[in-house]
Amino acid sequence: MSDVAGYARDFQRASLSVGFATEIDDEQFAAWSRLLKQKAGLFIAPERRSFLLSGLRARMRATNCQDVREYYERLIHGAQDTEWLLLIDRLTVHETCFFRHESSMRFVGSCLLPDVLERGDELTVWSVGCATGEEAYSLAMLIDDSIDGSPVPVSWRVVGTDISQPAVQSACTGRYLRRRLRDIPVAFQYRYCKKVSDTHFQVAEGIRERVSFSSRSLSDQVAQEQQSVDLIYCQNLLIYYDRQTRLEMADSLAENLRPGGVMILGPGELLDWPNSNMEKVRYPDSLVYRRTN
């Protein structure tokens, strides 16, 4: 049976007396959950049913669709890719800021980068779930500042991936509201930020050209198949998943690390990780793991 037939069967089993202003029942929620997870790698926990319904209503109004079943079938029977992207963008959270979680950033600057400088090698950093790019650019600023004037040559790059294509498109511009400057250290503001209008600034070209962004589903993000990644920065992404899914995603991410490479998660996201290739690194107020082999 094809995927499309399977999705259609799922929803046919659910009750269908639904207008966009009514609640979806358990069966319909299960059908939507399966569709979103299989097609986009997006997990919607049961307690976030109202969040899902809000997103569906918004896209249904935008497409003049009056029934949940009609919208569901529109998606599974060859809806334009743009509608999938717009729905996924509606169902994902893009809230972030520059230099978020100071302790984790401090670890990068004071522990990871000195090792790289001593080694004098290439450096690849991967920002997973990068949203509109603030995290990736923050890491790039830290790296550039650390290696400036170093006698040891270091080739480096930062890669940012996110499920939301609009968020990634915004990240590529490196353009932000001026009020976001307050999150950037003053010295970095002068060095890496350029005023482009009374309301916006842009990350300096020398930093932007070191950072690349791409849009990938969550499942594709953790199965990136990059080689020799030195740092995976993945904060506030795993919190949306159950424990088993967190473990599976973390294991897949870890496969991309070189021996000695580091993964930084959000504090509390995965405190007990039974992966024999990874060891916890003790650092205040941070959750850091290092690949041992």
User: Can you tell me the distance from the alpha carbon of 83 to that of 75, in angstroms, rounded to the nearest whole number?
Assistant: 8
Question: Can you tell me the mean pLDDT for 133-148?
Answer: 95
Pick the CATH number of 102-291 from 3.40.50.150, 3.40.50.1010, 3.30.720.110, 3.40.50.11890: 3.40.50.150
**157 in helix, strand or coil?**
strand
pLDDT of res. 218:
64
Q: Is 283 exposed, middle or buried (0-12, 13-18, 19+ CB in 10 A)?
A: middle
Calculate helix-pair angle for 81-91, 68-76, nearest 10 degrees. 120
**pLDDT bucket at 36, cuts 50 / 70 / 90:** confident
User: CATH top-level class for 3-91?
Assistant: mainly alpha
Give the rounded percent of residues in the chain with a pLDDT score beyond 90: 44
Domain range summary for the chain, segments of one domain joined by +:
3-91, 102-291
- Which region, left, alpha or beta, applies to residue 18 given φ > 0 means left and ψ of -120 to 50 means alpha? beta
pTM (2 d.p.): 0.80
Give 268-280 pLDDT, tens digit per residue: 888 889 999 999 9
